[in-house]
Amino acid sequence: MSVALKRMDKRDVSESDSARARSRQSLSIRNLSVRFGGSGQNVLALSRLNLEIAAGDFVVALGASGCGKTTLLSCIAGFIEPSAGEILLGGQPVKGPSAERGVVFQKHALMPWLDVLGNVEFGLRMRGIAKAERQGIALDKIHAVGLEKFARHPVYKLSGGMQQRVGIARSLASNPDILLLDEPLGALDALTREQMQELILKLWHAEEKMVFFITHSVEEALFLATDLLVMTPSPGRILHRFKLPFSRRYVESGDARKVKSDPEFIRKREEILSLIQNGHH
């Protein structure tokens, strides 16, 4: 572990310097409601939801299927226009998808006709940034996710975990204010999943971005979140918001096993599991 972490840390220092130069943003969600209708269905996916995300927050939404967490992410990303309420990013109302809100999907979101570099520089190319500059930025992000040896590899030949690294690098390349991750590790095996959790925390620490992360896994949520939202369905709403210390502990110590085997971590896990079960019935 120590070898890999030291390698990351060196990069973290230089990258966080440039990250600090950027203005800090915040995201506010006020009275957000989403109703899905048409063809016989009438579902209140989200009801009068309020949420504040401040600079540097790692917000994780946890809940069973149908609790509205993906709907919430889609609203922030701009894929869904809410029925009521508003979302403000840095004071400006959110309207439609935009590069200031980067999204990482569970799968099927890379462009297989482009190689790793082509995927990562995609957003910069769409915005007309000159080739030399955008490839410099893209290679930097490819390096940050540990894929520097694979910049010219076709993405369809990479493993699931490596493909998710490409997806993360691609979002980071556009330098978004907030990173939205929709169950990005859901399709990975347990071992890769833990490696990716650590990578995501390192990147979050280096880039100092707001993160909104969706997961089914209680342990993953506990490990990653500075702010954990437990959501319940019908109608989708936030049941409880926890402040958690574990992600910062990991960033400081670099020892994931120690953080996850801490009695406090385990106690919190049981507390949240019982909250979900009682809140759900």
Binding site for other proteins (CB under 8 A): 1, 3-4, 7-8, 77-79, 96-99, 101-103, 105-113, 122-123, 126-127, 145-146, 149-150, 153-154, 156-159, 161-162, 167, 170-171, 174, 191-192, 195, 198-199
C-beta of 83 vs 192, nearer to other proteins:
192
Strand-pairing partners, residue 219, are none
Buried b (16+ CB within 10 A) or exposed e, 170-189: bbbbbbbbbbbbbbbbeebe
Least Cβ distance, residue 13 to other proteins (angstroms): 17
Least Cβ distance, residue 191 to other proteins (angstroms): 7
C-beta of 16 vs 98, nearer to other proteins:
98
* Dihedral, 120, 54, 269, 265 alpha carbons, nearest 10: 90
C-beta of 3 vs 132, nearer to other proteins:
3
Least Cβ distance, residue 61 to other proteins (angstroms): 18
Least Cβ distance, residue 174 to other proteins (angstroms): 6
Nearest to 240 by CA among 204, 273, 201: 273
Token digits of residue 195: 């490696």
C-beta of 17 vs 189, nearer to other proteins:
189
- Using a 10 angstrom Cβ sphere, with 0-12 exposed, 13-18 middle and 19 or more buried, the burial of residue 114 is middle
Instruction: Tell how many helices (H) and how many strands (E) occur in the chain.
Output: 11, 10
Least Cβ distance, residue 237 to other proteins (angstroms): 25
Token digits of residue 1: 């572990």
> At residue 94, what is the residue type?
V
C-beta of 171 vs 232, nearer to other proteins:
171
- In angstroms, the CA 147 to CA 58 distance is 24
C-beta of 68 vs 118, nearer to other proteins:
118
Torsional class of 51: left (φ above 0), alpha (ψ -120 to 50), beta (otherwise): beta
C-beta of 82 vs 237, nearer to other proteins:
82
Least Cβ distance, residue 170 to other proteins (angstroms): 7
Residues in the chain: 281
Least Cβ distance, residue 97 to other proteins (angstroms): 4
